[in-house]
Structure 1
Amino acid sequence: MSAPGRRSSTFTRLLRHGFTDPSAAERLLGTPELAAVRGNPVLLDALGATADPDLALLGLVRLVEAQDEGERRVFLDTLVSAKPMRDRLLGVLGASEALGDHLARHPRDWHALVMYEAADLHPGIAEFERCLADATDPVSLRVAYRRCLLSIAARDVCGTTDVAQAAAELADLATATLRSALAIAGKAAPEDAAMCRLAVVAMGKCGGHELNYVSDVDVIFVAEAADGADEDKALRAATRLASHLMRICSETNIEGTIWPVDANLRPEGRNGPLVRTLSSHLAYYQRWAKTWEFQALLKARAVAGDLALGEAYVNAVSPLVWQAAERENFVSDVQKMRRRVVDNIPAAQIDRELKLGPGGLRDVEFAVQLLQLVHGRSDATLHKGSTLGALEALSAGGYVGRADAVQLDEAYRFLRSMEHRIQLYRLRRTHLVPQDEAGLRRLGRSLGLRTEPVAEVNRAWRRHASVVRRLHEKIFYRPLLDAVAQLAPGEIRLSPKAAGQRLEALGYADPAAALRHLEALASGVTRKAAIQRTLLPVLLGWFADSADPDAGLLGFRKVSDALGKTPWYLRLLRDEGAAAENLARVLSAGRLAPDLLLRAPEAVALLGDPEGLKPRGRAHLEQEVLAAVGRADGAEAAVAAARGVRRRELFRTAAGDLIGSYGTEESPAEQDPGALVDRVGNALTDLNAATLAGALRAAVRAHWGDRLPTRFAVIGMGRFGGHELGYGSDADVLFVHEPWDGVDEQEAARAANTVVAEMRRLLQLPTSDPPLLIDADLRPEGKSGPMVRTLASYAAYYRRWSLAWESQALLRAEPMAGDADLGRRFVELVDPLRYPKAGLGEDAVREIRRLKARMESERLPRGGDPTLHAKLGRGGLSDVEWTVQLMQMRHGATVPGLRTTRTRDALAAAREADLIAADDAAVLDEAWVLATRVRNAVMLVRGRAGDTFPSDGRELGAVARYLGYEAGHVGDMLDDYRRTTRRARAVVEERFYGAA
């Protein structure tokens, strides 16, 4: 074979083994120094397994060239015969140009990679101290340090250690190096060493046993005078020793540098003295320290010098660290600090920043440290220095979900591995992901990504960064965290006696029963109990911020029992937004919402979704209800399915109303009560309309299959038609039908009446849900008239017999279910009656006023306080509505805005048309909204409808809380209600009774 042919074959083999410059590799393999091993296939295979085969081969050639002939022969024999040594050496040479340079300068250091004893696989501080023992000056210390670093890197790149073990070994090597550097400094100034006790305390990653290959080593120096020495002189001596230690490690000489020693985490930073006594440190921390300084102390560890003094320092500051979360604004300060770090990253680097950028290592570290500091006050298992160790403890204690912890652990390990490999290449302090293809290729291959290393490493990095960012946002900004931080230490883990006293102080009426609930929820060693122990101290406070804390805690126990085996329930409360606070507000606000929740506990998931409490539109609800009805087997099952949807949506509406009224720290109370009233009225109207549509479909299917012999529509009346339903309102309706062409009218009438009867039967089946009662008493002839009429029959009746009150009732007529076209034509039929072109004659106006006065005198409950009856009382709903309706009937034909079924919209239109003064309209609107909210509050609190304020003190307090009053201000609520409705009555007297 010709030379070119042979070259071509070698060239191809080199490409196959991962070389990017086969021509250069051929030349290097052809050097005389490699003649003895050139043809050995194991060498090429080993080179091909490295992160960068070209770099590994170049480093190998330089190492061989640097050796004398005798050493070279031993080295090459070992290289071929000893696979462990070959893999370690070439693995390091292919990953680190800097360590290749070191071996070229110190060619005998390859012996450090020949053999590891079992005990040497994970060396500790003592082993590293022995390796550095012969170093007597800065130069020899650097050489010995790099030799140790060589062995750590070899274990790392070959997978003998994982990233956490490698980081711990690097921290142990740093510890041994600090001790050697201090010994060298002490030998250089024995008088200083004799005069003081100097302790070196490691901080940051070195203190936490998770150091990088190249990183500042953060330290704090603590000193005391030796026996008999003057303190000032001792501190000056200690300062000289500390300064010399820092120079030994930090200054660059012919062997490069080790790493900078950074003492800027000391009190007052670089402006403060380098060395302080223990008492001086404590005085500073107790009086002046900022939040971040306690976070920095989290990883403090005595590493060099006088270890007894260092341990005394750590023990003295430790209580201060675990009290830091009690500082005002602690959580928000830590969060702001993290945001500042991101904001200070240069724009050109933020997408490459592996450590500080969004989704980077700091996101994990800050989240873990914040959780440690908040929960570690009462749980010593969280007192861990390393990020991964603390994350494991947080997961075990239930403070972080298992799945979240696993994902964070995997992501952190991958990102730290990337950081290690990037720094290892040139032993430079950097956290930027390479931009060049060669650097990305080397990085990907070093991480075991060999198929398409550049694309694979980018994908994996972005995937893990995305996970970190998502979980960081979820954990780091968790609202529950701030609430836990604000608890006093004794409130976090309570003894039974302390718990009873706290419950009584918080306002629980039956502390003994409350304590039994706490014990049932939080006793034991299960993960569920652990999470409950985290939640309950905060929940107790939220329950206490209500009129009935006992009911809130009892409801929470019932919901927890119902969902006890559901894995997402406690995780939701711990992790998701304001879910826990929302649940506490809902459970302690009254009976209606908790009763609904206990019948459908899975609805608690709505409380953790920012969109979960927004009402769903009628089209969406009707689609869901009709689909459920269509799947059901039989009419009763169909209506049960429709009721299930209604139950869930009633809870959604009630919960959203309560939370919107009370507000939370995350979502303050809405400022416009009218917006809350409108939202509730619309939501309940849409829900009841969808439920009626489902009942209608079920009734039709039960008797006629898919098609009724007549068109059929349900017309909403009263509050139903006005979109002003309350939680306890009946559904006022009219039923109208029209036979299909060719269908006998009597057959159609029988079908329509059967449908109405079946709908009413189905909706009146016994249930524990709030009832949906159909009231058709507003139909022509009232209770004496037929339940359902044809459109023509309605036309004939209204043309001949219609009374003023019926025209007034029709002001709120609006189609709600059934045949849309028939409903539209019914509206066209009644429009001339409710908005007469000629307005109202004086006789009609007098009749309406007479009916209103009669209703006030006859229907107000005997003995009731007319100043506090929300519907019929002075300035209540009836007053406002009749006043507005009178304006609608008199002017609706000429003012289009008045042609609406909604009271507030009609009032606004009257104001716009100058039919009522703006101030008077505002007074009426305020009174109507307030009275509506009172009725809604009574139903939410008592679980049954009512038009007057409750007489029970707790229930009255709960109504006051719903209306925005603080505890103890029930009297203010009643006074404000009377004042508001008195002003409204004055307007009614003028506009309704006195209007011309």
Structure 2
Amino acid sequence: MTDARSTPSSTTSSDTTPSAADLARLGFSDSERARTSLADLRVDARPVVEAAAEAADPDQAVDYLLAVLQAASDREGLESALVADAAFRGRLLKVLGASTGLAQHLVRHPQHCFELADPALGAVRPAAWALRDELLRAVGADPRAAEPTATDGGPAAVDALRIAYRKLLLRLAARDLCGEVIVDDVAAELADLAAGALEAALAIARARLPASAEPCRFAVIGMGKCGARELNYVSDVDVLFVAEPVGDTSGDRDREAAALRTATQLASHLMRICSEHTAEGTLWPVDAALRPEGRAGPLVRTVASHLAYYRRWAKTWEFQALLKARPIAGDKELGEAYLAAVTPLVWKAADRPNFVEDVQAMRRRVLDHIPAQELDRQLKLGPGGLRDVEFAVQLLQLVHGRSDPSLRIPSTLRALEALTEGGYVGRRDGAALTDAYRFVRTLEHRIQLARLRRTHLLPVDERALRALGRSLGLWSDPVEELLQQWRQHQRQIRRLHEKLFYRPLLAAVARIPGDDARLTPEAAEARLTALGYADPAAALRHIEALTAGVSRRAAIQRTLLPVMLGWFADAPDPDAGLLAFRQVSEALGTTPWYLRLLRDEGVTAERMARLLASSRFIVDLLLRAPEAVAILGDDASLEPRDREQIEAEMLAAARRHDDQANAIAAIRAIRRRELFRVAAADLLGLLDVDRVGEALTAIAAATVTGGLSVAVRAIEAERRRTLPTRLAIVAMGRFGGHEMSYVSDADVVVVHEPLEGVDEHEAAGAATAVVAELRRLLGLPGPDPALEVDVALRPEGRQGPLVRTLSSFSAYYERWSHVWEAQALLRAEPLCGDPELLRGFVELVDPIRWPASGLSERDVREILRIKARVDAERLPRGADPTTHTKLGRGGLADIEWTVQLLQLRHAGAVPQLRTTRTVEALRAATEAGLVEPKDTQSLLAAWRMATRTRNAVMLVRGRPSDSLPRDARDLAAVSRILGYGPLESSRFVEDYRRVTRRARAVVERLFQV
């Protein structure tokens, strides 16, 4: 670098000053005034203009440069350095153009300009001890002394401290504005500067003590941003003061009190020395309001006094504040002793009741007190500001740091890095939050640097915004680019703050005692037994498999499992839940979204735990398609889809495959996912039993429709020609009644009509082949649940042909039909296929199922006879007739046959009874006066309870059964699904028998000739 004292050029500025137009193009606002000012330079103006053009405010840079030159005793040397040293020139003009506060300091002390010509300035970051020593020497104190004391405690020492501090601040600001240091290091160096200034102020304070003062040990504890080494250019410096008597004073309360009086004098002097205004300005306020009892408490306490307060009286926010505590001045050993004493309390704070909720409420209170007109400009406290990042990071630290020492870091950015590495924050979220935080901190620094004033508000003045944007390197449209970037980062911070700070899992993790938050083999087995795990040794093996290693997956599992173990334990079968969780986690392997979803969306994790520990049916579905976990976090995602939506997706999926096996597999995979959606919503209480039946029917209808398209393609490919007949499928039974359960078959009848000129035998053969292929494809064993297409309700039952023409159906019903077949047709509903055939079938069967003249006495007796035979012969051997959901007393068959008898008798005269749905038909019968409302209530209650119970048995066991479970564990699980408490399975059985008994009494009155 050229010597700053070299001889100035003989060229005068007036010869080299650019024109006003050129200056305007370079960014000068008042180019004429700038040209006049530049003419006063005695050296070549062009390099100065080029450097000023890169400053935040070129006009301000030139104005202050002239003021500094006029004040300089060595103007010639300064001007010479400006021309000869490009690095010096750039630093000086950037500082003058960005900070009126530092510019005014240079006007008072122009010799400090040469600090910016230091060749090592941009290459070496000063150590904290070096800054401390320089500030101590400035006040005449020996840095090597155990208790450095200033030679003078008067105003001269105070001014000397300010001058030395500003000189060091100038060196840092120049490097910052020239992009030679990142914002993290700027904040850390500012904290080191503040610590050094406090040490120097303490040295002055010692010089002010009277000779008679009792000796004491005295330490200054940095809090807030100073403690965390992330200080601003201008900020209150938050501190606590700790003191102890010198030597052993056991029992000598007078000496202890005297030592505390000395310490209080030191603290008071120190605060005034830093805060008071002199001719050299002020440093910053020293704020001790974070001490125990706040401003009402003593300024200085002993370590024991601090501890006593924190153990008994401290509020949640006080522990949050202690997270950033750090000894920064005075007796280092005493400061470290204080920190060692209080730190364990910090990492137990999250064990306090409602800890998470208290921290969240405190953040909301801060927002509530911001004036409305400042919300969008408040960089620190407003939504999307620095506090949003800091509160989120601190809350995560305090909750998870109890068991993870790697998170015990005062610095926000370093803590965020540790949270990201540990898996507590997603990598993408962590990187986005880091970038946004750095931008806003840099913006805050530039605003404060402008006038060396404590402010966190984005300016509104156009010129100030322009200078601010240019100081950040935004040149094309500084104001618009600045505002755009601020809003973008503000939105990003707010979004991630809401995601992390209000993460549902946090409160659950915080409720786990800190000692248990990270499971250890020694403590875990006893805890698992206490939680209700039947095989704690097996549970431990699952836990160890999930949490072993140092991967991010293992780290996230260590966060999740303590909470999920409790959720599993709240469900009927915690052992099965944990096993299934391990299986799902291993199936998803390295899938990046899975554990992130469980960590970030607590409702997903809680719901997953409940489902896995309650339902084998859901576990089986989820193990075949673990990605379905993604739909658990949102009620809207668990809303059943319409048949049209499912059908369109199935048909599109099938068309993508030429091979029929792959096509049907795609359809069945979609069915599996939709079954999971409905089963999860059902078990979580989001659907009533009527909607479950409707949803399961929609899935089956879409599946049969999609399967039919694949079967037709397969038969046409096999025959190498198009189908010679038109096909239609009619839903029957519970399928046609929109009342399917998880165990229901798809009951259908199939009608066809040969194309013109086609032999009827050929057409029937092709149609039969399609139906057989449809049944085969949907019934194939495989990873997806099979759907049996049952055609047993066709004319002549299993002895009759699989398909018939309309004329064949008509001839059969006219000649051979029995009353039970008319009863079966009550549930017939068009499903899919040729629309004309479906309409024809409905027109054919309506007079049969809705007879205009009702039923004859003989037909009624026949129905009663068949029902009695069903009751006597079909109830399985050994089944309890009081708890069999289908054929038991007051069960599904009792109620459905009663309603169907009413329909056969009266639908000819009461059109509202012409429905395939049991519940609708019963309501219509009540409105028509055929059933008393109280009887309707009894029948509906039993029908719904039997249907829900039947569904719950399938959910719990994963296999069908029409009887209440005899196994106590299964029975307890069924009763829990139905809303009963953990020990209320016997009450559930009693309720079931009582409800069905009432229904049976109604059936016996209504179901007769």
TM category (shorter chain) comes to over 0.9
Alpha-carbon distance in structure 2 between the residues aligned to 1:304 and 1:120: 27
Deviation at 1:9, TM superposition (A): 6.2
1:199 maps to what in 2? Answer: 219
1:11 maps to what in 2? Answer: 20
2:7 maps to what in 1? Answer: none
Alpha-carbon distance in structure 1 between the residues aligned to 2:906 and 2:262: 97
Match of 1:21 among 23, 26, 30: 30
In 2 relative to 1, CA 186–984 (structure 1 residues): closer, same or farther, beyond 3 Å? farther
2:311 maps to what in 1? Answer: 286
Secondary structure at 1:221 match in 2 = strand
Deviation at 1:386, TM superposition (A): 0.3
Q: Comparing 403-412 with 595-604, which one deviates more in the overlay?
A: 595-604
In 2 relative to 1, CA 191–885 (structure 1 residues): closer, same or farther, beyond 3 Å? farther
Alpha-carbon distance in structure 2 between the residues aligned to 1:113 and 1:193: 43
Match of 1:687 among 699, 709, 714: 699
Secondary structure at 1:475 match in 2 = helix
Is 1:244 matched up with 2:269? yes
1:776 maps to what in 2? Answer: 791
Deviation at 1:393, TM superposition (A): 0.9
In 2 relative to 1, CA 796–77 (structure 1 residues): closer, same or farther, beyond 3 Å? same
1:59 maps to what in 2? Answer: 64
Is the CA contact 2:615–2:955 (under 8 Å) kept in the aligned structure 1? yes
Secondary structure at 1:299 match in 2 = coil
Secondary structure at 1:248 match in 2 = helix
Alpha-carbon distance in structure 1 between the residues aligned to 2:714 and 2:236: 79
In 2 relative to 1, CA 9–214 (structure 1 residues): closer, same or farther, beyond 3 Å? closer
Deviation at 1:418, TM superposition (A): 1.0
Is 1:646 matched up with 2:653? no
Deviation at 1:6, TM superposition (A): 10
Equivalent residue letter for 2:358: D
Alpha-carbon distance in structure 2 between the residues aligned to 1:896 and 1:83: 97
In 2 relative to 1, CA 6–401 (structure 1 residues): closer, same or farther, beyond 3 Å? same
Is 1:449 matched up with 2:461? no
Deviation at 1:440, TM superposition (A): 2.2
Equivalent residue letter for 2:44: V
Secondary structure at 2:323 match in 1 = helix
Match of 1:565 among 590, 596, 603: 590
Is 1:470 matched up with 2:473? no
In 2 relative to 1, CA 988–555 (structure 1 residues): closer, same or farther, beyond 3 Å? same
Which aligned pairs between 1:308-323 and structure 2 lie closer than 5 A? Answer: 308-323=333-348
Is 1:542 matched up with 2:590? no
2:775 maps to what in 1? Answer: 760
TM-score by length of 1: 0.93
Is 1:113 matched up with 2:79? no
Match of 1:81 among 56, 65, 84: 84
Is the CA contact 2:409–2:415 (under 8 Å) kept in the aligned structure 1? yes
Match of 2:327 among 287, 290, 302: 302
Q: Which runs of 5+ in 1 are unaligned?
A: 662-669
2:530 maps to what in 1? Answer: 505
2:970 maps to what in 1? Answer: 955
Secondary structure at 1:578 match in 2 = helix
In 2 relative to 1, CA 482–779 (structure 1 residues): closer, same or farther, beyond 3 Å? same
Deviation at 1:744, TM superposition (A): 4.7
Secondary structure at 1:257 match in 2 = coil
Match of 1:99 among 92, 102, 116: 102
Secondary structure at 1:547 match in 2 = coil
Deviation at 1:842, TM superposition (A): 4.0
In 2 relative to 1, CA 102–891 (structure 1 residues): closer, same or farther, beyond 3 Å? farther
Alpha-carbon distance in structure 1 between the residues aligned to 2:911 and 2:239: 78
Alpha-carbon distance in structure 2 between the residues aligned to 1:926 and 1:273: 70
Is the CA contact 2:780–2:786 (under 8 Å) kept in the aligned structure 1? no
Is 1:46 matched up with 2:68? no
1:832 maps to what in 2? Answer: 847
1:808 maps to what in 2? Answer: 823
Q: Comparing 180-189 with 929-938, which one deviates more in the overlay?
A: 180-189
TM-score by length of 2: 0.92
Q: Comparing 22-31 with 812-821, which one deviates more in the overlay?
A: 812-821
Is the CA contact 1:47–1:90 (under 8 Å) kept in the aligned structure 2? yes
Deviation at 1:202, TM superposition (A): 1.4
Deviation at 1:913, TM superposition (A): 4.5
Equivalent residue letter for 1:103: L
Equivalent residue letter for 2:207: K
Alpha-carbon distance in structure 2 between the residues aligned to 1:749 and 1:164: 81
1:268 maps to what in 2? Answer: 293
Alpha-carbon distance in structure 1 between the residues aligned to 2:911 and 2:241: 82
1:666 maps to what in 2? Answer: none
Match of 1:254 among 270, 276, 279: 279
In 2 relative to 1, CA 453–850 (structure 1 residues): closer, same or farther, beyond 3 Å? same
1:151 maps to what in 2? Answer: 171
Is the CA contact 2:547–2:555 (under 8 Å) kept in the aligned structure 1? yes
Alpha-carbon distance in structure 1 between the residues aligned to 2:525 and 2:187: 47
Which aligned pairs between 1:345-744 and structure 2 lie closer than 5 A? Answer: 345-658=370-683, 660-661=684-685, 670=686, 675-704=687-716, 708-741=723-756, 743-744=758-759
Secondary structure at 2:239 match in 1 = strand
Alpha-carbon distance in structure 2 between the residues aligned to 1:291 and 1:972: 44
In 2 relative to 1, CA 777–83 (structure 1 residues): closer, same or farther, beyond 3 Å? same
Equivalent residue letter for 1:37: D
Equivalent residue letter for 1:728: V
Output one character per residue of 1:67-113: Cα deviation in whole Å (capped at 9) or x when no partner: 23xx1111111122222222221111121122112212222221322
Deviation at 1:870, TM superposition (A): 0.9
Is 1:36 matched up with 2:56? no
Match of 2:363 among 307, 315, 338: 338
Deviation at 1:299, TM superposition (A): 0.5
Is the CA contact 1:192–1:234 (under 8 Å) kept in the aligned structure 2? no
Deviation at 1:473, TM superposition (A): 1.9
Alpha-carbon distance in structure 1 between the residues aligned to 2:119 and 2:408: 33
Is the CA contact 2:239–2:288 (under 8 Å) kept in the aligned structure 1? yes
Equivalent residue letter for 1:278: V
Is 1:208 matched up with 2:220? no
Deviation at 1:466, TM superposition (A): 2.2
Output one character per residue of 1:763-818: Cα deviation in whole Å (capped at 9) or x when no partner: 22232432200111112222222222223333343344433322222222222222
In 2 relative to 1, CA 680–176 (structure 1 residues): closer, same or farther, beyond 3 Å? same
Output one character per residue of 1:136-195: Cα deviation in whole Å (capped at 9) or x when no partner: 543333333222221221111111110000000111111112222222223222358634
In 2 relative to 1, CA 276–789 (structure 1 residues): closer, same or farther, beyond 3 Å? same
In 2 relative to 1, CA 797–251 (structure 1 residues): closer, same or farther, beyond 3 Å? farther
In 2 relative to 1, CA 899–122 (structure 1 residues): closer, same or farther, beyond 3 Å? farther
In 2 relative to 1, CA 332–922 (structure 1 residues): closer, same or farther, beyond 3 Å? farther
1:127 maps to what in 2? Answer: 130
Secondary structure at 2:886 match in 1 = coil
Secondary structure at 2:374 match in 1 = coil
Secondary structure at 1:348 match in 2 = helix
Is the CA contact 2:121–2:171 (under 8 Å) kept in the aligned structure 1? no
Match of 1:935 among 950, 953, 961: 950
Number of aligned positions between the proteins:
971
Secondary structure at 2:242 match in 1 = strand
Deviation at 1:740, TM superposition (A): 4.3
In 2 relative to 1, CA 884–13 (structure 1 residues): closer, same or farther, beyond 3 Å? same
Deviation at 1:609, TM superposition (A): 4.7
Deviation at 1:896, TM superposition (A): 4.8
Is the CA contact 1:192–1:241 (under 8 Å) kept in the aligned structure 2? no
Equivalent residue letter for 2:431: V
Output one character per residue of 1:940-965: Cα deviation in whole Å (capped at 9) or x when no partner: 22221111122333322322221222
Equivalent residue letter for 1:98: G
Output one character per residue of 1:558-602: Cα deviation in whole Å (capped at 9) or x when no partner: 222222122222222222342222222222223221122222222
In 2 relative to 1, CA 707–260 (structure 1 residues): closer, same or farther, beyond 3 Å? farther
Alpha-carbon distance in structure 2 between the residues aligned to 1:829 and 1:89: 98
Is the CA contact 1:732–1:778 (under 8 Å) kept in the aligned structure 2? yes
